Amino acid sequence: MKKLFKKFSVIALLLAAVVVTVGCGDKKTKYTVTYYDVDDVNTVVGTETVVEGNKPTGLISNFVLESEMFKDAAMTEAWGNDVVTANVSIYGEFTSKDGYTYQSSFNLSPKTFNPFQYESATDSVPLDYTTLGLYGYSYNADKTGFELKPVMAAADPVDVTTEYAKDDSYGIEGETSGYAFRIALNRHATWENGEVINADDYIYSLKALLDPKFQNHRASDYYAGSTAIFGAKDFFYSGQTTYLSAVEVVGGTQEGYEGLYFDASNVTAFANLMGGTDLTKLANYKGYFSDGETNYYEQLCQYAGDKRVPMNEELFTIWKNIMTKGPLSAYWVWADNEMPYFSVAKTTFPEYPWEKVGLKKIDEWTVDIIYTTQLAGFYKKYSIGLPLVNETLYENCKQYNEETKVWSSTYGSSVETYLGYGPYKMTKYIVDQLMVFERNENWFGYSEAFADEYGKFVAEFDGQVHEQYQTDRITLRFVQEISTREQMFLAGKLDGFGMTREYYEKYRSSIRLYSATGASTFYGILLSDYTSLVEREAVLNGVTYDSATYDSVKKQYNKTILTIKEFRQALCYAIDRKTLVTNLYPGGSSATSLYSDLILADPDAGKAFNKYTATKEAICEFWGVEYGEGKEFKTLDEAYAAISGFDLASAKKLVDVAVDKAIEQGLMTSSTIVKIDYCAASDSENEQLWYNTFNNCLTELFKGTKLDGKFEYVYNPNLGDDYGDDIQNGLADTAWGFGWQGSALDPYSLFQVYVDAGSGESDVYQYDKWINRNTKNYEVTLNIDLGDGVKEHTYTAYTWWEIVNGIYTAPEGQTSYDASYAKQIAGVISGDTRATILAACELAVLRDYTHIPMMNEGSVSLLSYKVNYGSETYMFGMGFGGLRYITYNYTDGQWADYVASQPGGNLSY
């Protein structure tokens, strides 16, 4: 036994010595390469000894030692004359074809690539490679901008509104243009299996998408907003069951509570009581749900929390007590039959025939689409689109569960359940491992007939003529860890490396670094609602808020100073945006307004909303930057360009003003400690970094002010998945880095997120929902031409939003600008006027200092030496040109050789 262990010790030491020697030595390693049959990896077809760094001669040209691919080869590592225990595998692509492979990665698994269900950017990656729209982005002639050209369509849409406006069948009676379009389809388009795509495919696909049984996620793309097809929503809602405010279903009164449900997230009656602020969540009203003795709010929470439960006697009694005994009795005269105001009811939508939906087959290659909103100019081709799935395959993918009575579809969950029709086809998909796309030889774009459009182009990086779609194959590996992605990129296994702040520091001087700006703007949301703040303040001070007895002045901690506008303004000025972005958000840019420079107000001209004079004037006014004779800046452009959003000196003065006001208003004393929360959805190292940065900014802010040593900024990363609702419902003092994506080409529509506190019919996006911007306080007066000459017009910010979007209906007896502003989209009314309205409204929103512009979306990435982008300039819609314009400096084989020839076999960026 003793001998055995002695031997073991010796072996262990020898092995350790070998490992150390191998790790430290610079000798060339000899490899014995064993060749296996391509189709049968168990059959050895030959062996060869190869010195490290050399290419095995028995392999085809794109294979070198250490390259990682998919098929098998194996070798044993030789060390001197001995074969040591470690075996090493090498992986080779045993193919005779040497082409251009774009190697990419994904770090989140796609949920689906079903065109009816995709949600995330990862989900849409396979669709980006394998599908195309009726109209698609292309560079314009001088590559300074983009244009929309027919792709799956054969020509531009033809306006046929008059054909459908003869009666009211499609809701456009009497209209002359912009609602109905005839689309000639591309007769060369086929599925990747070669089957022709014609009008029937489009008709089937839209009907399948809107099939009420499936509740397809993308359905609203075709029934909501500016792309709403007539009747699509009614068809989609046919027979659907949902819960609406009971008032909408059964009316305002009902005897008993049969069929009524209590839903803590939908108590619309209080919204009405509070003046239409649409605070529909129970939590908004907890201060009112007490009669001094009994806390009815707690009773309700025990019942339902966030769930919906059928109304019963006990619930009914609780409500009755709230409304008759609590402070709300002053606002509401309770009647037993008015329970519908405080409950929801189940409703089922009526059936709607498919024949009435606004998509008509004219012939095999032509369809007509009838929209509910007028489209014109750029928005015509931008908005026109139709979904497309393969009928035979889709039908085969339908599933029905007899027990749960639920329909679902497996379409787009594997190679077998998916058919594309774009430049590439999916040839391999192994869940959470690998996706491979290869050239779709059946794609019409590769044919001679389309050579002008999809053939050669002049690349910006070398001024030479190259082929479009040079890529033969795309491989996507599932790589979750960023450190692994970095190493794979340096080893030549990935052609792009999107990086975070830490990596940006390392590669910021690389010539292969590319920055891309996104369209979203992230801002801080500061809570200004007194009720929410005072309740949170009471909790902080360990008491229950009671409006009758609560006295802020006597409390140790204060939050209600956030209701003072100057305080919020001070916070806004105290953020050093440029430094923050440079240090924490590479690729982004500091934001000084609600819209980024990529938001286009006039896509036809490629003009960003921020480029309009009215916009610049509004932003200068907001930041207090003056220009003109005798001022710091001579011109508007100079003044606008100089805005940084950081002015610590002014911020400190504002703090003192705010403290004085707070004391004067009885919110606090000079010794009260201001304690507000930094709220985030969840905890993370990155979130803590952001918190520390803001904390440092605020610490600097309060130095030398009346709050010096009396301010605490508390890290509170507990908002969770429902962070949006929580912010809206006044449960977050400050929340930084929130924003909205979408509508990059329509700032007018996007403005809804700042002014729509709840219409009751649509989703509420406004983060500072406690502010109703449809009141007199938010009236904006403008001297402009709304189609009837230059006049003074006064509307609330919300109404202006309705006007610029053509959805405003004037009160009876007054002029409605509905029609005129719908027409202005067609260019009847000046785009400058429209921008002037939006700029004035933007200023009105900004002046609340509840939305603090912080930074604009951006990203940075490295591009491998193997490939070049089609354009060096990032452009909305085109990016850097995408896969279509990517060109290659090396074939796969050459690239492997090149990487292997680098010191240590790794690249340097």
Q: How far is the CB of 418 from other proteins (least distance, A)?
A: 11
List the one residue out of 99, 35, 30 whose CA is nearest residue 61. 99
Structural contact between residues 30 and 51, judged by C-beta atoms closer than 8 angstroms: yes
Q: How far is the CB of 12 from other proteins (least distance, A)?
A: 9
Q: How far is the CB of 293 from other proteins (least distance, A)?
A: 30
* Alpha-carbon distance values, 756 to 728, 760, 797 (Å): 12, 10, 9
Q: How far is the CB of 896 from other proteins (least distance, A)?
A: 12
* Alpha-carbon distance values, 100 to 727, 750, 867, 890, 896 (Å): 48, 41, 9, 8, 12
What are the structure tokens assigned to 822, written together? 């719908």
- Beta carbon nearer to other proteins, 497 or 573: 497
List the one residue out of 595, 534, 598, 654 whose CA is nearest residue 845. 595
SS3 call for 715? strand
- Beta carbon nearer to other proteins, 392 or 399: 399
Q: Per-residue DSSP letters for 280-332?
A: -SGGGGGGGSB-SS-BHHHHHHHHTTTSEEE--HHHHHHHHHHHHHSGGGGT-
- Beta carbon nearer to other proteins, 442 or 487: 487
Q: How far is the CB of 204 from other proteins (least distance, A)?
A: 19
Structural contact between residues 712 and 706, judged by C-beta atoms closer than 8 angstroms: no
SS3 call for 368? strand
Q: How far is the CB of 236 from other proteins (least distance, A)?
A: 8
List the one residue out of 705, 678, 681, 703 whose CA is nearest residue 691. 678
Q: How far is the CB of 267 from other proteins (least distance, A)?
A: 15
Rounded Cα gap, residues 328 and 338, in angstroms: 15
Q: How far is the CB of 22 from other proteins (least distance, A)?
A: 8
Residue 866 half-sphere exposure, CB side, CA atoms within 13 Å?
28
- Beta carbon nearer to other proteins, 688 or 749: 749
List the one residue out of 645, 621, 626 whose CA is nearest residue 570. 645
Structural contact between residues 806 and 818, judged by C-beta atoms closer than 8 angstroms: yes
Q: How far is the CB of 419 from other proteins (least distance, A)?
A: 15
Structural contact between residues 733 and 677, judged by C-beta atoms closer than 8 angstroms: yes
Structural contact between residues 109 and 98, judged by C-beta atoms closer than 8 angstroms: no
- Beta carbon nearer to other proteins, 196 or 430: 430
- Beta carbon nearer to other proteins, 724 or 879: 724
Rounded Cα gap, residues 728 and 301, in angstroms: 20
Structural contact between residues 440 and 131, judged by C-beta atoms closer than 8 angstroms: no
Phi, psi at residue 456, to the nearest 5°? Answer: -85, 160
- Beta carbon nearer to other proteins, 195 or 722: 722
Rounded Cα gap, residues 381 and 159, in angstroms: 12
- Beta carbon nearer to other proteins, 644 or 749: 749
- Beta carbon nearer to other proteins, 218 or 361: 218
Cα dihedral sign, 482-486-491-497: positive
What are the structure tokens assigned to 880, written together? 């850097």
Q: How far is the CB of 904 from other proteins (least distance, A)?
A: 7
Q: How far is the CB of 202 from other proteins (least distance, A)?
A: 22
- Beta carbon nearer to other proteins, 107 or 299: 107
Q: How far is the CB of 740 from other proteins (least distance, A)?
A: 5
DSSP secondary structure letter of residue 153? B
- Beta carbon nearer to other proteins, 411 or 885: 411
- Beta carbon nearer to other proteins, 2 or 776: 2
